[in-house]
Amino acid sequence: MKIGDVNNDGQINSSDALLILQYSVGSYALNGNAFTAADTNRDGKVNSSDALIILQFAVGKINKI
């Protein structure tokens, strides 16, 4: 699984960020691989900071996750 591709569809986009935000408020569960992919800043937590990184990547503000 690729870092940032939370839903494992081969793309890193706002859908992945949405899943992270849903997880952070308790309305979505992440399994082991999805949790690993969602932890974009590799701090052992999945939260809005990870979603922000994905959104920045999706719009081209950053070029690497």
DSSP 23-47: HHTTSS---HHHHHHH-TT-SS--S
Distance CA 58, CA 44 (A): 22
* pLDDT attached to residue 2: 96
Tokens of 65: 């996750």
Domain boundaries, the chain: 1-65
Sequence-distant (6+) residues with CB within 8 A of 12 are: 2, 4, 5, 54, 57, 58, 65
CATH fit for domain 1-65, picks 3.20.20.70, 3.40.50.300, 1.10.1060.10, 1.10.1330.10: 1.10.1330.10
Task: Find the length of the chain.
Answer: 65
Taking the model in full, what pTM does it have? 0.94
What is the tens place of the pLDDT at every residue in 8-65? 999 999 999 999 999 999 999 999 999 999 999 999 999 999 999 999 999 999 999 9
